[in-house]
């Protein structure tokens, strides 16, 4: 089946040479076709061209973009979408002056979500997560990564990952899954860290690998959570199963973990709100992707990741939501693109590239999605008529999307 899209004011291609990512200042430049058409065959982009140079005549359906822009769907490469219960009570406590760490110390935070998750059935979890997924697809997300990490026991971590895998089977968008057993120490292992690490490496990882439930492994490496040495133990164990890592690093403190993560070939290091000069330099020289999560900075009122420094050090910068009930309860990638510009001083072009092609690279899908190129999946957003790409971050908080297509099929 072929569908011809006409009347597109601009196609934001992001990339036209099949490159897997944009590094440093490349991020701010992408090819654009103005006053264009696009032909989709089945689930792929077949061809595109300019309206005044003649249109294809052979097609099954026609869609008029009505002067809207066409750009790749957002790729949200860091979420905790599967969770039970919400934590607006903790949010209110923070408004009264308690910090994220103080709330966690009182039994709130990740352990609070873990308690609720353990009580929920797989079916309940699936229904809640599916609702969230449908909501973010309407907001233009066309590929997503989902972490476990609120189970903290073999059974519950597997339950979370099964839910994430089922979402990938039942919805058209690509879903990558990440095992984050090392998200917090369960209460009973508070004084026995090695006991829990061993459970992760000797019990959880082998079982998860056998059932092929996780594409990646993650560790929350932070004061009060997992140390650099503990992270390395987990990365070593994951290597035996060929599972690459995507890591929570430098959210509140720099523990010199970035260099170690890079030497273990981490696919991405995420958060990066607190960075030393050394962290910036080593990351800029590596192929490890720097995934920035401005929604978390907004919500927790912590520093924003130094996007400009990372870009000037030549890093591969991507943007994601961190969608989770505690530190970032929004899965709206449009808002992340706005925040990246307003608070991290990324240019609109940089933010859009970081939220599409580089996001795809952060889940190893940039050969298939993340740009509008021939042969790639027909996963794209059509906006309302907008005067320029800058209008997307500028008109923050508004819904500028008119249609979302995944695999060539309209999903919203
Ligand atoms: O990415 N920092 C660690 N994990 C999440 C927050 C988890 C939670 O508070 O529930 C994050 O910010
Ligand atoms: Fe996170």
380 Cα: distance to centroid of ligand 2 (angstroms): 25
Query: What is the extent of the structural domain holding 144?
Result: 75-361
Residue 160 belongs to domain with CATH number: 3.20.20.140
Please indicate, yes or no, if residue 20 is contained in any of the structural domains. Answer: yes
366 occurs within a structural domain: no
CATH code for the domain of 399? 2.30.40.10
- Asked whether residue 379 is assigned to any structural domain, the reply reads yes
User: Separation of 276 CA from ligand 2 center, angstroms?
Assistant: 20
222 CA closest ligand 1 atom index? 2
- Ligand 1 centre and the CA of 295: distance in Å? 12
Residue 224 lies in a domain: yes
Residues 168 and 233 grouped into a single domain: yes
What pLDDT is recorded for position 183? 98
Same domain (yes/no): 52, 109:
no
Whether 207 and 308 map to the same domain: the answer is yes
pLDDT at 157: 98
Atom of ligand 1 nearest to the CA of 109: 9
CA pair distance 277, 314, nearest whole angstrom: 13
State whether 209 and 98 are in the same domain. Answer: yes
Q: Are residue 384 and residue 348 in the same domain, yes or no?
A: no
Give me the residues near ligand 2 (ion), CB cutoff below 5 Å. 322
Do 315 and 191 fall into the same domain? yes
**How far lies 203's CA from each of 38, 177, 190, 257, in Å?**
50, 18, 19, 25
Cβ(296) – ligand 1 distance below 6 Å: yes
Residue 120 shares a structural domain with residue 65: no
Q: Which residues pair with 244 in a beta bridge?
A: 216
Do residue 212 and residue 235 come from a single domain? yes
Q: Are 30 and 115 contained in the same domain?
A: no
What's the CA gap between 356 and 159, in Å, rounded? 29
Between the CA of 228 and the centroid of ligand 2 the distance, in Å, is: 17
C-alpha to C-alpha distance for 336 and 352, rounded to whole angstroms: 10
Compute the distance from residue 183 Cα to the ligand 2 centre, in Å: 9
Q: State if residue 145 touches ligand 1 by the CB under 6 angstroms criterion.
A: no
Question: Which of 76, 79, 80 is the best mutation target for the ligand 1 pocket, counting ligand atoms within 8 Å of the beta carbon and taking the most?
Answer: 80
Say how many Å lie between the CA of residue 270 and the centre of ligand 2: 8
Task: Examine residue 262 and state whether it is found in any structural domain, yes or no.
Answer: yes
pTM of the full structure: 0.98
Ligand 1 contact via 325 beta carbon (within 6 Å): yes
**Same domain flag for 397 and 355:** no
Ligand 1 atom at shortest distance from the alpha carbon of 251: 2
Is residue 217 in a domain?
A: yes
Ligand 1 nearest atom to the CA of residue 150, by list position = 10
Ligand with an atom nearest the CA of residue 249: 1
For 404, list phi and psi in degrees, rounded to 5.
-125, 130
Report pLDDT digits (tens) over 107-116. Answer: 899 999 999 9
CA of 269 to the centre of ligand 1 (A): 14
Do residue 125 and residue 213 come from a single domain?
A: yes
Q: Do 314 and 382 belong together in one domain?
A: no
pLDDT digits (tens, 9 = 90+) for 215-261: 999 999 999 999 999 999 999 999 999 999 999 999 999 999 999 99
Nearest alpha carbon, ligand 1 atom 1: 322
pLDDT in tens for each of the 412 residues of the chain? 999 999 999 999 999 999 999 999 999 999 999 999 999 999 999 999 999 999 999 999 999 999 999 999 999 999 999 999 999 999 999 999 999 999 999 889 999 999 999 999 999 999 999 999 999 999 999 999 999 999 999 999 999 999 999 999 999 999 999 999 999 999 999 999 999 999 999 999 999 999 999 999 999 999 999 999 999 999 999 999 999 999 999 999 999 999 999 999 999 999 999 999 999 999 999 999 999 999 999 999 999 999 999 999 999 999 999 999 999 999 999 999 999 999 999 999 999 999 999 999 999 999 999 999 999 999 999 999 999 999 999 999 999 999 999 999 999 9
> How many structural domains is the chain composed of?
2
Nearest CA to ligand 1 atom 11: 327
């Amino acid at each position: 089946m072929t569908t011809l899209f006409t009347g597109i004011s601009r196609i934001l291609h992001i990339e036209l040479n099949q490159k897997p990512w944009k590094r440093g200042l490349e991020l701010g430049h992408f090819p654009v076709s103005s006053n264009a058409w696009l032909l989709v065959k089945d689930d792929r982009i077949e061809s595109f061209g300019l309206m005044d140079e003649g249109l294809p005549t052979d097609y099954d359906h026609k869609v008029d973009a009505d002067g809207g822009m066409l750009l790749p769907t957002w790729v949200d490469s860091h979420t905790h979408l599967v969770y039970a219960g919400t934590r607006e009570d903790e949010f209110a406590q923070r408004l009264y002056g308690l910090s994220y760490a103080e709330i966690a110390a009182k039994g709130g935070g990740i352990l609070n979500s873990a308690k609720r998750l353990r009580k929920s059935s797989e079916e309940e979890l699936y229904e809640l997560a599916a609702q969230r997924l449908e909501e973010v697809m309407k907001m233009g997300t066309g590929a997503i990564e989902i972490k476990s990490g609120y189970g903290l026991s073999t059974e519950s971590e597997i339950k979370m990952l099964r839910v994430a895998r089922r979402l990938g089977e039942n919805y058209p968008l690509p879903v990558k899954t990440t095992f984050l057993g090392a998200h917090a120490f369960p209460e009973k292992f508070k004084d026995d860290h090695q006991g829990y690490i061993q459970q992760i490496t000797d019990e959880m990882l082998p079982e998860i690998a056998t059932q092929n439930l996780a594409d990646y492994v993650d560790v929350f490496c932070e004061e009060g959570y997992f140390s650099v040495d503990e992270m390395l133990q987990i990365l070593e164990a994951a290597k035996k199963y060929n599972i690459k890592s995507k890591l929570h690093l430098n959210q509140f403190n720099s523990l010199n973990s970035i260099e170690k993560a890079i030497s273990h070939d981490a696919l991405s290091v995420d958060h990066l709100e607190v960075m030393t000069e050394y962290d910036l330099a080593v990351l800029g020289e590596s192929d490890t992707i720097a995934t920035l999560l401005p929604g978390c900075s907004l919500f927790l009122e912590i520093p924003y990741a130094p996007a400009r420094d990372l870009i000037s050090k030549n890093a591969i910068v991507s943007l994601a939501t961190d969608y989770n009930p505690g530190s970032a309860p929004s899965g709206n990638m449009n808002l992340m693109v706005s925040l990246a510009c307003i608070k991290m001083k990324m240019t609109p072009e940089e933010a859009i590239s970081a939220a599409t092609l580089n996001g795809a690279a952060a889940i190893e899908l940039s050969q298939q999605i993340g740009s509008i190129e021939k042969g790639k999946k027909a996963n794209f957003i059509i906006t309302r008529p907008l005067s320029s790409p800058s209008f997307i971050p500028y008109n923050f908080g508004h819904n500028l999307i008119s249609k979302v297509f995944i695999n060539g099929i309209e999903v919203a």
